[in-house]
Structure 1
């Protein structure tokens, strides 16, 4: 797990920039709230609002990101008003919370913007429970949210807008459909049911911290599509929480809420959350849990009993998510996995075509964004295949084939990165062999996605030509993929 986090590819140091910018943006937001004279509650609200604004907004263009960021308060403030207004009306509060859960998951059907707004709405309601917000605090909380979103936007779009130099990859959306065939519709129903279970059982466990269980259920559903993905994510959330609680006992409790030390450690946690989110959910949850412990230390309520309660509520939330995806409108791993692999292969096709244009001298050809998109798609494939390669999976044959597919897709990504690096060299040139190799790669992808066979044409001279060597390596990996992706009859196998 350590190796996957710290040795994982980071094209253009995107994850490093993402994490560093987040620390700056959130620190600025908290500082602005402090200068405005806000209480600790207002500062915590502002910091979390800035974190969400920097973490959840993933539109494909800078303009789209700016629009989504501007819309966050329009969604969050009404939800905050409802949460505070219903503070003393438990039944209405709980029903409203469940409605926010369902609407937030359903909003994923509208792509990255719907996803961002849904997450912000849910977390606004959650934070209101976390801070026990009441109506008399609303003016300060409104100001904290607005100032913090503005501060985060100033860093993201002004001080450090690296997306202008490297356009971000499109965040993959779940497969479509209509009615109950649409994944987002099924997940909205599942998430609402799972959250309902978590809410009821969570309140039996603790009348004060029940919302932790609902939050666990919600975040287990975020960025998952199939039943298997959700179960694995629930396991990883629980594991990350256990490790985070252990760190909380060793790190957060001895601090005793000291503001300076807590601020430094919280900044480290924010960096860890953003840096590890794309490669390890367990590690991300470790940092989230430690950050929560530090915040509770600031509020003066941190103790071993509270950390134990967090673990119990997380377990309730994970159980609620598991029961929902198993018993209610399950989405199988097989169709989802096949769809993500198909998209990754089409991205390989696009990367190759764009690189060939670059080598041919096209001034507007830039394969770098395609490489970033491929990395995101491969991360999505890994998430989808995770149930099959999990140590507890008893189906050894499928596990071996799934690992083989992942290894070959990683080979494709490595060859693509090497090819793009060669294409970036101004001395690189285009010749007939390169064009032919590019066409063969594109034909290989088309054959794989259409269910045909892939053949490899060897060329001994490729070893001395870097671009050709990468293309032939890519061609071989694609040819090898044909076998594990299908049964002898040609049907998809990996996600079956």
Structure 2
């Protein structure tokens, strides 16, 4: 719990996004209710608004608007197809696998492909969750359309939150062709895992098997390696276990009472958005409690249903783990090395811009690079998470991975301070600061130049800089970069096994 509230939140972006999400989804559901739509339609509309606010993450506001407008294009045909397949299990199961494959494959087209793929899958998922039938399609379409308009109005008109830089590229944006391309490889992995989850999940329950498939789907979102997928599966199960306990204590006693259920649903929505970037386990706790409250509103909630959700989640996590271990596996090392290198290159870009600014170039601006570095550092931590997990048996790699995370985090802090210095008009005429910036860029170039240069950098000692706090930022940054040469000079993997 402490981690959630002490985690950095520059500009209170997580807080503002979470608050805006509650308002946007609340307005969307209210509009559906005012139009006299059914509870099933209102829930569908609320989910559409949540997905629009949660998954649309294009670099520009204009691109976000286009992606939001395209969501029905991806969702409506799938929704219509899915409602007609309730009584045709074989075709329904084949449709699930096909949509999973296409949805994951679509991530090769970046943030828009990712958002449209998720919306298509969830359109299929919601028909199972709510047992929607073809006769309900008109009001389901109306609810989704109204909800997307309402959520879009809140997001783009009432409370726009500007992003100064594009989000860090999805892990599937790493290079490759054919089966070496992460999106293609993950599409086959996810389809195989969902096929297995379908089979095993239906043994447990012919009605709620879709929770196992949904677990597989969301485990594969924003993961790129075998280790990341295993850790994400573990955290999903942990969050679901905790959520089931909370659901038993909170949702079951409410028995679907509308007012308190609506209030707690708002709390859960806030929790999903506020914790998503910090803790997947806490986010899953909020998702599980939210699902419990929705089942309560639908009048089908009991303890056996919560236990079944936990069992299906476990099935999905195991199926995902088996698949990433056996079907076209991607090692953790290949992924974490790529993200570390991108973070270092961002340090270089930020420092070079700062150097130019301090040399008198008023057009140079290191701030966007510094903000991008924050995102890349977060992504590098995700890539390294399997190596620092408490259950990891590789202690030497764990120690080196922790050292890399600590040093990268220190670099982020020093770059943040450097940006504030470069923005100071008085500092922009300081030749000593500009010279120190060029020394830091040289250190980054050495770190990304290969193992031979790394070995040399590991024995270098930065020169102390006299000149007060501004120069200390650069001295500390150069020092941390030099220290990174030691753990980066030895692969974060063993000779005998690799995550």
**TM value normalised by structure 1:** 0.95
Cα distance in 2 for partners of 1:167, 1:155 equals 21
Cα distance in 2 for partners of 1:267, 1:232 equals 28
Contact 1:485 1:493 (C-alpha < 8 Å) held by counterparts:
no
Give the unaligned 5+ runs of structure 2. none
**Are 1:474 and 2:477 an aligned pair?**
yes
Alpha-carbon displacement from aligned partner over 1:13-64 (angstroms, at most 9, x marks no partner):
1111111111111111111111111111011000000000000011111111
Spell out the pairing of 1:59-458 with structure 2 (5 A cutoff): 59-163=58-162, 166-174=164-172, 175-360=174-359, 362-451=361-450, 452=453, 453-454=456-457, 455-458=460-463
CA drift at 1:172: 3.5
Taking structure 1 as reference, are residues 171 and 3 closer, same or farther at Cα in structure 2, changes over 3 Å only?
A: farther
Cα distance in 2 for partners of 1:423, 1:260 equals 52
Cα distance in 1 for partners of 2:17, 2:120 equals 23
CA drift at 1:173: 4.0
Alpha-carbon displacement from aligned partner over 1:185-211 (angstroms, at most 9, x marks no partner):
111101001001111111110011000
Cα distance in 2 for partners of 1:460, 1:363 equals 25
Alpha-carbon displacement from aligned partner over 1:401-459 (angstroms, at most 9, x marks no partner):
11000000110111112222333445543311111111111111111111224344323
Q: How many residues align?
A: 489
Cα distance in 1 for partners of 2:83, 2:45 equals 16
Correspondence for 2:486: 483
Contact 1:111 1:173 (C-alpha < 8 Å) held by counterparts:
no
Cα distance in 2 for partners of 1:422, 1:23 equals 37
Alpha-carbon displacement from aligned partner over 1:233-267 (angstroms, at most 9, x marks no partner):
00000000001111111121222211111111111
**TM value normalised by structure 2:** 0.95
Correspondence for 2:466: 461
C-alpha RMSD of the superposition? 1.7
Cα distance in 1 for partners of 2:283, 2:160 equals 24
Taking structure 1 as reference, are residues 412 and 150 closer, same or farther at Cα in structure 2, changes over 3 Å only?
A: same
Taking structure 1 as reference, are residues 426 and 435 closer, same or farther at Cα in structure 2, changes over 3 Å only?
A: closer
Q: Secondary structure at the match of 2:463?
A: coil
Cα distance in 1 for partners of 2:14, 2:252 equals 29
Taking structure 1 as reference, are residues 138 and 361 closer, same or farther at Cα in structure 2, changes over 3 Å only?
A: farther
Taking structure 1 as reference, are residues 436 and 286 closer, same or farther at Cα in structure 2, changes over 3 Å only?
A: same
Cα distance in 1 for partners of 2:357, 2:302 equals 58
CA drift at 1:358: 4.3
Contact 2:271 2:283 (C-alpha < 8 Å) held by counterparts:
yes
Q: Secondary structure at the match of 2:162?
A: helix
Correspondence for 2:11: 12
Give the unaligned 5+ runs of structure 1. none
Alpha-carbon displacement from aligned partner over 1:208-239 (angstroms, at most 9, x marks no partner):
10000000000000000000100010000000
Spell out the pairing of 1:13-28 with structure 2 (5 A cutoff): 13-28=12-27
Correspondence for 1:50: 49
- Worse overlay, 166-175 or 62-71: 166-175
Taking structure 1 as reference, are residues 359 and 301 closer, same or farther at Cα in structure 2, changes over 3 Å only?
A: farther
